[in-house]
Structure 1
Amino acid sequence: MRRRAEFLLPIFMISIMVFGLIVLFSATFGEREEYLFGRQLVWVLLSCAVFVFTAYVIKRNFWKSMSIVLIFASVVTLVAVLYLGSGEGSRRWIDLGIASFQPSELAKFSLILFLGFIYSREAKNKYGLFSLGVLSAAIFAGLIYLEPDLGSTIIIVVIWYFVTLISKRFDKLMIAMTALIAFFVPVVFMFGLKPYQRDRLLSFLNPEEYASGAAYNTIQAIRAIGSGGLEGTGMLQGTMNRLGYVPADHTDFIFSVLGEEWGFIGSVSLIVLYSLLLWRIWSITRKTTSEFGRIVLSGIFAVFAFHVVQNIGMNLGLLPVTGIPLPFVSYGGSSSMIFALQLGIVQSYTGKEVEYDREHE
């Protein structure tokens, strides 16, 4: 018995990509880094190719066999970026000449695969598997934190927590770890963060107090979104966008451009598209008969959901600023291709015989 072919997932993905290109065109129009639109258009086309190749050419069990290789590759690149990295005030990218590569994006993907690999294994000593999962997440989180990249560090912790929880193999251990995390969060906040990182996390609670510093971007984004009203000012007609009042409006704060020029209707339309995409990911996850696939697809769902909620939340002043991109909308090549690759894996678990997973586990 065959499942129906899945058309909705790629339709939602492409719709968001087109949405993103339109908003990015407006954010970079004129003399303000216009070349970025052309580069992003190339990245979108390459991302579509990656999606198709991953969904229909690469075998599912390839990712299980590559999980350990990718873990080591991630560690090597995360160490390398600390010495070779480029960026303003941080070392997050490795310059490859024709493009830049962000190792933390590979690390997020690699951790999902690795956790899926170890958690789907049959083992008498499940404490060993749990410890291995904690160790891998801790190494990634530590290396990414040194860049420094607080947002991606948080995502690593979220991936580990959600995937470990969804595996349903460590319920008692997760209760203890949840209590431990709750205890250490305030300790890390007080003694483990740099002053500017602490200010960013505090600024969303009282933006006016940090109006000229950590909360400046957020306040400007809120003003831009608020000025859009119901229908928006119109494409290329956003005053705050055109005059550059919102910093990083083509990356972290691109949602403010959408809110200003497309208004409440445009903003809600994008949120609906993301909701539909997440619905398809979760529906496919629930139907897969592969334990490895179920865990990996759950991790992919968590990554997409966190990126969307966190980015939109920080644009609206509801969540702290953490530098998390909006999937397929914010400018960025490596993130766009990794997102597309992950959706390609999700797509590969559709339209195949139900018995396939049991035969190839």
Structure 2
Amino acid sequence: MKKNVEFILPINLILLMLFGMITIFSATYGSKFADLFYRQLFWDILALSVFFVTSRVSFRFWKSVTFWLVLFSLLFLVMVLMLPPVSGSRRWINLGIASFQPSEIAKFVIILFLAKVYSESKKGILTGLFVTGLTAFLIYKEPDLGMTLMIMGIWFFMTFASRKYDKLILLVLIAGLVILPLFMVFGLEEYQMNRILSFLNPEKYVSSSAYNTVQAIRAIGSGGLTGEGLLLGIMNRYGYVPADHTDFIFSVVGEEFGLVGTLALLLLYSVLMLRLWKASKKAPDSFSFLLTVGIMTTFLIHIVENIGMNLGLLPVTGIPLPFMSYGGSSVMIFAAQLGMLFRLLSINVELKSKANEL
């Protein structure tokens, strides 16, 4: 094997983290959440370590432990449902010194699992469908509709990319069109339905379900070309946009850094997606290719959905913006995934027979 010098991906990662830290600092400055800046700094440093550790782990290892990772992932998802609800949901397991979100681990594990079963057998579709369905159901019961849709989206795109189950994909699309109206009527919590209704008619729900989105749009619009400046955004500084350090952090970027700042962020994400695309092209076997597709799908859904809900173009689902929104579990999983693809970008495989050495 010949080693390549891959420097774009780690530099891109560090720049995104720095951008996120600056924005979180502004979003939390002088508030009761001010200490979250230092916590995120700790998580980002730890995530960088995870990035470089996973870049040293062979893909053969990940394939060998996939079964156990699925088992532990499902166990954690069951455990979290047994805990007392917090604000109406059960999403976090508190370990005392830190908390983690089992659904973030499940999102990572399901990609590994689908890549393994699809690359090993055509009959893997049944096993993949069962495990994905069970995972999505447990996350839905938390309830976490955004992450449930994320898991289903990962299954769809990885199944499509496998090029083995075209008829099944068509059946799933048809079934989805039939089931979706029924699910929206009978399967959603009241607040989830209100989010969809407020997305369709924000003016009617401007003081309730659509409040966050409307305020985020106003904040982004007030930023103009160059923004109000760091710590100078009125909507941000005076708390007009709730959850502006998590779900609605893009509104802080728009208000304080303006169009220039949002375009800079989109440029960083574009570079990231191009590097992931290049990794998929360098994949020496079906497992690594499908793994790359799953990770690309994850990042793309996160970026499009979060920015879309900040702009009022998509319903609010609570999906974080990668390396920008506050959160330890998410940044660790994102970094681990990029570390795995950094390995692909850094190694030029000369013979496919050596693919397992990845």
Scaled to the shorter chain, the TM-score interval is over 0.9
Aligned to 2:68: 69
Deviation at 1:293, TM superposition (A): 0.4
Aligned to 1:138: 133
8 Å CA contact 1:232–1:259 kept in 2: the answer is: yes
Query: For the residues of structure 2 that align with 1:32 and 1:255, how far apart are their CA atoms?
Result: 20
Aligned to 1:96: 95
User: C-alpha offsets along residues 291-314 of structure 1, whole Å, 9 cap, x if unaligned?
Assistant: 100001100000000000000000
**Residue 310 (structure 1) aligned to one of 296, 299, 305:** 305
8 Å CA contact 1:60–1:348 kept in 2: the answer is: no
Aligned AA (2:34): E
Deviation at 1:87, TM superposition (A): 3.1
User: C-alpha offsets along residues 79-125 of structure 1, whole Å, 9 cap, x if unaligned?
Assistant: 0001126532211000011111100000001000000000000x3xx
CA RMSD of aligned residues (A): 1.3
Deviation at 1:140, TM superposition (A): 0.8
The aligned runs of 1:1-361 (5 Å cut-off) are 2=2, 4-56=4-56, 58-84=57-83, 87-121=86-120, 123=121, 126=122, 128-355=123-350, 358-361=353-356
Query: For the residues of structure 2 that align with 1:192 and 1:199, how far apart are their CA atoms?
Result: 13
Query: For the residues of structure 1 that align with 2:85 and 2:100, how far apart are their CA atoms?
Result: 10
8 Å CA contact 2:74–2:135 kept in 1: the answer is: yes
Deviation at 1:355, TM superposition (A): 3.5
Deviation at 1:360, TM superposition (A): 4.3
8 Å CA contact 1:311–1:325 kept in 2: the answer is: yes
Give ranges in structure 2 of 5+ residues lacking alignment: none
- Sort the Cα spacing of 1:26 and 1:255 in 2 relative to 1 into closer, same or farther, 3 A: same
Query: For the residues of structure 2 that align with 1:7 and 1:17, how far apart are their CA atoms?
Result: 16
Count of residues paired in the alignment:
356
- Sort the Cα spacing of 1:86 and 1:18 in 2 relative to 1 into closer, same or farther, 3 A: farther
Query: For the residues of structure 1 that align with 2:347 and 2:266, how far apart are their CA atoms?
Result: 30
Identity of aligned residues (%): 53
Query: For the residues of structure 2 that align with 1:131 and 1:22, how far apart are their CA atoms?
Result: 45
Query: For the residues of structure 1 that align with 2:34 and 2:190, how far apart are their CA atoms?
Result: 34
For residue 334 of structure 1, give the secondary structure of its aligned residue in structure 2: helix
Deviation at 1:254, TM superposition (A): 0.6
8 Å CA contact 1:310–1:324 kept in 2: the answer is: yes
8 Å CA contact 2:349–2:355 kept in 1: the answer is: no
Deviation at 1:4, TM superposition (A): 2.7
Deviation at 1:344, TM superposition (A): 0.4
8 Å CA contact 2:199–2:315 kept in 1: the answer is: yes
8 Å CA contact 1:3–1:350 kept in 2: the answer is: no
8 Å CA contact 2:284–2:355 kept in 1: the answer is: no
8 Å CA contact 1:229–1:263 kept in 2: the answer is: yes
Query: For the residues of structure 1 that align with 2:287 and 2:47, how far apart are their CA atoms?
Result: 24
For residue 55 of structure 2, give the secondary structure of its aligned residue in structure 1: helix
8 Å CA contact 2:223–2:258 kept in 1: the answer is: yes
User: C-alpha offsets along residues 171-214 of structure 1, whole Å, 9 cap, x if unaligned?
Assistant: 12211112111221121111111121011122122111111111
